[in-house]
Amino acid sequence: MEHLRLADEVLELLDDSPITRESVLADAKLLIDAGEVSLAFDTLCLWLFEDDLVISRPYYDRLVRTAHQLAVPSAINRLEELVSAVPQGSRPGQPRTHQYSVRKIALWGIFVQLTGEYSFRADTEAGVRLTAATTLHLARAMQVRLTEDEVHMLAHGMRRGLELAGLADPPAQIRVLDVRIVEADFQIDGLAAAGYEWIAREFRRKLPPVKVDFDTAANRYLIELPGGASCSSDD
**pLDDT, tens digit, 9 for 90 and up, residues 97-145:** 888 887 755 555 788 889 998 988 777 567 899 999 999 999 887 777 8
Burial class (CB within 10 angstroms; exposed 0-12, middle 13-18, buried 19+) of 61: exposed
**Rounded CA separation 115/117 (Å):** 7
Q: Is residue 234 part of a domain?
A: no
Q: How crowded is the C-beta side of 126, counted as CA atoms within 13 Å?
A: 0
> Measured on CA atoms in the order 186, 190, 194, 200, is the torsion positive or negative?
negative
Query: 63: which residues sit within 8 A by CB, 6+ positions away?
Result: 13, 45, 55, 76, 79
Residue 116's domain comprises 96-224
Share of the chain above pLDDT 90, in %: 34
- Whether 146 and 213 map to the same domain: the answer is yes
Q: Is residue 68 part of a domain?
A: yes
Q: What are phi and psi of 48, to 5 degrees?
A: -60, -45
Q: Is residue 90 part of a domain?
A: no
Q: Is residue 91 part of a domain?
A: no
Average pLDDT, rounded, for the chain: 84
Q: Which of 52, 82, 112 is the last residue of a domain?
A: 82
Q: How crowded is the C-beta side of 60, counted as CA atoms within 13 Å?
A: 16
**88 has a pLDDT exceeding 70:** no
Q: Is residue 229 part of a domain?
A: no
Q: What is the mean pLDDT of residues 83-107?
A: 63
- Whether 116 and 213 map to the same domain: the answer is yes
**213 has a pLDDT exceeding 50:** yes
- Whether 129 and 196 map to the same domain: the answer is yes
Q: Is residue 58 part of a domain?
A: yes
Q: Which of 22, 48, 82 is the last residue of a domain?
A: 82
The 10 Å Cβ neighbour count of residue 163 is 18
**Rounded CA separation 41/39 (Å):** 5
Q: Is residue 89 part of a domain?
A: no
- Whether 134 and 163 map to the same domain: the answer is yes
CB 75 within 8 A of CB 213: no
- Whether 157 and 74 map to the same domain: the answer is no
Q: Note the Cα 197 to chain centre separation in Å.
A: 8
> pTM of the full predicted structure?
0.62
The band of 229, judged by pLDDT with boundaries at 50, 70 and 90, is: low
Q: Is residue 88 part of a domain?
A: no
Share of the chain above pLDDT 70, in %: 88
Q: Which of 82, 109, 127 is the last residue of a domain?
A: 82
Burial class (CB within 10 angstroms; exposed 0-12, middle 13-18, buried 19+) of 50: middle
- Whether 42 and 119 map to the same domain: the answer is no
